[in-house]
Amino acid sequence: MQIRGNWILPDFGALDFYHGDYRELFVGAGRTLYNSKKVTWAEELYFVQATGPAAKRARYLWPWTLVDIRFTPKLTSEIVYFPYVPLNHSARIQHVLERAKLEYALNKTWKMGGGYGAYKYGGQSWQNKPFITVTRNTGFGSFEFWLQKMPGGAQVQVRYFLAWHHWMP
């Protein structure tokens, strides 16, 4: 992610669900709409292309919303929500509460926290599960380790985040 002033320049990514028959590729850009000492609100709009045999060439828009709340310098909360807005007939409406988490910074390097993630596909009921997370901040970005109970087991995610901030005059 590259940030210039309030603009989030085009970024891209991929999701692999390890089914072998479905993946998502996405590209988008956005803007920080509000930024204060306590709260940041950012919006991005992503174009998503599903790939693999099960994808049926589905295409979506993700209006991606992030709200970051800083209660104290050590206690923060982050909420990310986005719907899958269908762009073709093979795509289906979906809702993702990607994370609603509370984190505590043990020091400048380590954070621990927990939260909730939820997902809704079409007319099905919401699926939601709590998770715990540990984040390690380095000079090369942040590595987040996420453990979440799922139906029939658990999932472990490793997330990497690097943001370049370039301030515009």
Q: How confident is the model at residue 145 (pLDDT cuts 50, 70, 90)?
A: very high
Rounded average pLDDT over 47-57: 94
Q: How confident is the model at residue 149 (pLDDT cuts 50, 70, 90)?
A: confident
Rounded average pLDDT over 76-92: 96
In angstroms, the CA 39 to CA 55 distance is: 37
Q: How confident is the model at residue 168 (pLDDT cuts 50, 70, 90)?
A: very low
| pLDDT for residue 107 | 96
Region label for 49, one of left (φ > 0), alpha (ψ between -120 and 50) or beta (otherwise): beta
- Number of structural domains (the chain) is 1
In angstroms, the CA 127 to CA 120 distance is: 6
- Yes or no: say if 92 and 73 are a contact pair by the CB < 8 Å rule: no
Closest CA to 86 of 48, 118, 51: 48
| pLDDT for residue 164 | 59
Q: How confident is the model at residue 105 (pLDDT cuts 50, 70, 90)?
A: very high
**Domain CATH for 82:** 2.40.160.40
Domain range enclosing 146: 2-166
